[in-house]
Amino acid sequence: MLEKSRNFTPILTGAWGNCHIQGIAVDRKKGYIYYSFTTKLIKATLDGKIIGTLDGLAGHLGCIAFNESDGCVYGSLEYKNDIIGRDILNAIGSERTFDDAFYIARFDVDKITKPDMNADSSGIMTAVYLPEVVSDYKWTDFNGINHKYGCSGIDGITFAPLPGKPPDDGMYLYVAYGIYNDVKRNDNDYQVILCYDMSEWKAYSLPLSQNNMHKSGFEKPLHKFFVYTGNTEWGVQNLEYDKYTNSMFMAVYEGFKEIFPNYTLFCVDMSIPPKKEMLNGTNEKAEMLTLSEKGLCDKKTGIHGWYFPLGSTGLFSFGNGEWLICRHFRTDEGQCGEIAHYEWDEKTPFVKS
């Protein structure tokens, strides 16, 4: 079991090919850590010893989260034909093509026991299809503008309570959109976060064969939330709920619109219920979440956040003010990550310990 430790030794993931690390998840009871390397899921001990790997994904496995209620790892999984999808296929030397599709994948990680287990045939992975994301991704308006709200797919994922409800009032699955960087529109100045009730999961979850991908999934999310942050490049990379502050943290890549502060880390105050507000660039009202007033405040826009350089490739909260945060780097052998211990500090907002 992983306990509080100010002397935590950083974990080195090892080198894993051409695709960088996307996210981390920790099973504190059994003492395992998981890394998403885009087309692979790696299982390791907390001193870095590799237990096993799940390989063979031809899509983008992004941010991951450990679900303490069932002992499984969940991750955002997308198959698409834009620049990201093509770059992934090129990186793994594949000439396959896929219909645009978006899933939440569930990994029975107890079954990961050795290297190079196959995602299609091992029985480890099941998935639920997300038609809401497909619809927004493929959307085109009468002016020829594509991708509703700038939707480029999905990435950040976490388990959290409903906003405005007590932290112990049940956990729901949240998944955040990727957002295309486009400085010529303003309907893409939000983070979009879908919320799903996990009690309905089993009704839709099926094994996912990449040779014949199913479309079994929730018709609609329980909630579709928006957070006004200003446009960011590729949206929420890592989404992580923190019980200690009752907040949902969003690590992003810096945006390019000069009217915004372009912070790289935002924090949603989950104690505040959503409010119905008009969305810029649309004629829609939507459920809006509220940014925490912690951190820096941009006087022009009122947006709060931080210029924190890490987090986009891995965030994990212990729920007691302590965090694991990943630093991505590359060697001649391939893409790597170093995962170090940090403590919450409202101003910075994290201090390495």
Note the pLDDT tens digit of each residue in 96-134: 778 899 999 999 999 999 999 999 999 999 999 999 999
**Long-range contacts from 242-245, C-beta under 8 angstroms, 24+ separation:** 242/317, 242/319, 242/323, 242/344, 243/167, 243/317, 243/319, 244/317, 244/318, 244/319, 244/320, 244/321, 244/344, 245/292, 245/294, 245/344
Domain that holds residue 127: 11-352
Give me the number of domains the chain comprises.
1
| CATH number of the domain that residue 322 is part of | 2.115.10
- In this structure, is residue 4 part of a structural domain? no
Average pLDDT, the chain: 94
Identify the CA nearest to 191 among candidates 160, 146, 154.
Answer: 154
Tens of pLDDT, residue by residue over 280-303, are 999 999 999 999 999 999 999 999
Q: Is the pLDDT of residue 199 over 80?
A: yes
Q: Is residue 97 situated within a structural domain?
A: yes
Asked, for residue 185, whether it belongs to a domain, the answer is yes
Q: Do the domain assignments include residue 5?
A: no
pTM score, whole prediction: 0.96
Each residue's pLDDT tens digit, 256-271? 999 999 999 999 999 9
Q: From residue 95, how far is each of 39, 54, 320 by CA, in Å?
A: 15, 21, 46
